[in-house]
Amino acid sequence: MSDNTNLTQQLLDAGVHFGHLRKKWNPKMLPYIFAEKKGIHIIDLNKTVEGLTEAAAAMKQIAKSGKKILFVATKKQAKEIVSECANKVNMPYVTDRWLGGMLTNFGTIRKSVKKMQSIEKMLEDNSISINKKERLTLKRDKEKMDKVLGGITNMSRTPAALFIVDISHEHIALKEAKRLGISTFGMVDTNSDPNTVDFAIPSNDDATKSIAIITNYITAAIIEGLQERETEKDKMDDQEEENEDGMVSLKEDGSDKDAEDKDAAPRKKASGTRRTTAAKK
């Protein structure tokens, strides 16, 4: 309970409770609105804490399973925060522009990523003879592509989930995720429909501090999931080593017993022959 109280206070200090003007509100956000003050809706932070903890727990499990979570935030005030957090946990991100078909036409996007990587190799390889003009053109093309695709270079397949800052602004990404059945997590302000995401976090999606506190909380949960995955891997490796050692010892014991049986077998035959000769005499 004390943890929730501290979290609520931190959210309050960050201005997470400030919504949009009343004339811009979405009626479906009514259950998440606490009050109205000077024409501005105030978000119920108890609902925010509930949504945030639930979303964090689900994301922790996804990270623990080894799957990827794509961070999406193309708003100016969210770009730097989201890219930093995504890099912390080695997750893909989109912060410049959402290309249509980034999920639904993922094969074509992967081809563009491979093209960007090949251009990068050409520029780094001094053995390839490229004149100054060609090098400058390739460099410009690489920079343009890196701006849009740089965050998803390590994403070899479609992600298991999307974390979105401002679901209204990133509606194309949300539609593509829904079409493919990808789990969606989003910061939902009073002007958005919370029913369009699987895990809604009612919060101010415009203020930098608000975006930072929510994204950092989610990132911390992902880090916990990744750490738990590593500890489980280590335990599995230790168990495998113990099993291998046990198998080796069993094989050694078996080989020793076989050797003993082989040594014992001819002795019995010898004793048998002596008895028969003695009986004949």
User: What are 185-213's pLDDT values in tens digits?
Assistant: 999 999 999 999 999 999 999 999 999 99
Side chain identity, residue 143: E
- Please tell me the predicted confidence (pLDDT) of residue 258: 60
User: What are 40-67's pLDDT values in tens digits?
Assistant: 999 999 999 999 999 999 999 999 999 9
Its pTM stands at 0.81
CATH architecture type of domain 2-102+158-224: 3-Layer(aba) Sandwich (3.40)
User: What are 241-258's pLDDT values in tens digits?
Assistant: 777 766 666 666 666 656
- Name the token pair of 204: 């101010």
User: What are 142-197's pLDDT values in tens digits?
Assistant: 899 999 999 999 898 999 999 999 999 999 999 999 999 999 999 999 999 999 99
Q: How far is CA 170 from CA 100, 134, 176, 227, 267, in A?
A: 11, 36, 10, 30, 86
- Name the token pair of 273: 């022959």
**Coil, helix or strand at residue 68:** coil
R_g (Cα) of the chain, nearest Å: 31
Residue 275, pLDDT above cutoff 80: no
- Determine how β-strand 69-72 pairs with β-strand 93-94: parallel
